[in-house]
Structure 1
């Protein structure tokens, strides 16, 4: 995703807990840290959509599990501005333990994100869904972090009944962590969670530097094979820019391992 110009600071929403002052566009996160609701208030236009996206992504990483985005009090003044919510929904589909529900009394189906007309309906959908399984580890940017990340992944695969994914997942998470140590040099959070027969991994750091994969590295190359290994063991992988860094994620499928070993 290419960098874009940010709107004027007076129009930039952020993550706020508790009461806030009025602005043209503001993304309000309920003060209760256990709340699953993000409320958009004020005016949403195309100029502010990118900052809204940043705020929603930051909250979705901060709180594993589905989040309700409440559009009941926001005024959408330009066609297409609401699409930012569905863009966020698509972006986090492959993150571990992430999801987005939309509360929109108008019933506008929007795009891919499920839409509910009332808060009661949206909350009932959350209650009816199984609790998202997820494991996290906050790690420093040191070589030993990869060992701790592998232990986390191995534990998760045993808990969730996907032991065949432990080996490829350890390969992937090792490379993700080592990339942070070598290139970002910031503290990181490793997150892993299951979904049906898939395993979702993500490593979040605080560097804006995006991973670059140029295909197979030459045999004479001293490095550059980390992303190739991830591309080999994972069905999908990518990176998502966040306001103060990025999340690099990948998805592994149990049937891929069964076919390989079968």
Structure 2
């Protein structure tokens, strides 16, 4: 039986429950399900392993991939909990012993409480109209000044302009802008209703109207990427804060 993933909201935390017998063929669909959880930008993602039985241990790499993405963006804590005995043995030895593992949901919540801090976040809904780029720049500028990051006003404004303009040009849907302040990065994310992946303009796909587009984002941001979300996608970029 293929693994399927149930997801429920626990306040501002998402709890994902992969169910079935984990094989290598399940890695990609399970990864996509977990990345969609991260695209919701929850305060934490808890992964319930109680009903996941591992048939091919190499498939556990799906959780390493998920944690690696979470660390890059959106900085969401990810904890695994409640594995069956054999799965627990696999997770506490070898290549997977660095994965954060708790005995049960209560223990996972306790670990979150020990390390959780309030993350400054600004959210804004945007129309698919040209004026939204100017409004998005104003939102990002206000955020940078409010959080005492004047040196990031220019690059953040450039990035948000390109992300919003790209969504206007190609998605033609409502957008949700989210600006958040992490320990090391200022993160900018734009969610739209199109499932089409963003494609940086290049010689093989010229875009006279947009010109530099996402290539400009790539050159300015320390990291950028995109994740599928429910009913669309999130395109994100991160700028490193000065120490």
TM range (shorter): 0.7 to 0.9
1:131: Cα distance to partner? 2.4
Paired with 1:247 and 1:159, the residues of 2 have a C-alpha distance of 24
Alignment of 1:212-231 (within 5 A): 212-213=199-200, 222-231=209-218
Specify whether residues 85 and 192 from structure 1 end up closer, same or farther in structure 2 by C-alpha distance, changes over 3 A only.
same
Specify whether residues 238 and 184 from structure 1 end up closer, same or farther in structure 2 by C-alpha distance, changes over 3 A only.
same
Per-residue CA distance 1:208-259 (angstroms, 9 max, x = gap): 3323335699xxx55321223312321122223346432211111233xx9x
RMSD value, Cα: 2.8
Matched, 1:115 2:101: yes
Per-residue CA distance 1:91-150 (angstroms, 9 max, x = gap): 232323533222254161527642223333321221122123322222221112212322
Alignment of 1:233-248 (within 5 A): 233-242=220-229, 244-248=231-235
1:199: Cα distance to partner? 0.6
Matched, 1:125 2:103: no
Matched, 1:92 2:78: no
Per-residue CA distance 1:55-84 (angstroms, 9 max, x = gap): 222222225222111113311222222221
The number of equivalent residue pairs is 232
2:122–2:143 contact (8 Å) kept in structure 1: yes
The two structures have a TM-score, normalised by structure 2, of: 0.81
Larger relative contact order, structure 1 or 2 (CA cutoff 8 Å, min sep 6): 2
Matched, 1:42 2:29: no
Matched, 1:30 2:8: yes
Match of 2:173 among 159, 162, 186: 186
Residue 190 of structure 2 corresponds to: 203
Paired with 1:130 and 1:197, the residues of 2 have a C-alpha distance of 14
2:13–2:42 contact (8 Å) kept in structure 1: no
1:96–1:192 contact (8 Å) kept in structure 2: no
Q: Which has the higher helix share?
A: 2
| Secondary structure of the corresponding residue to residue 30 of structure 1 | strand
Where do 5+ consecutive residues of structure 2 fail to align?
none
Residue 76 of structure 1 corresponds to: 54
Matched, 1:173 2:151: no
Paired with 1:223 and 1:80, the residues of 2 have a C-alpha distance of 43
Paired with 1:34 and 1:91, the residues of 2 have a C-alpha distance of 19
Paired with 2:196 and 2:6, the residues of 1 have a C-alpha distance of 28
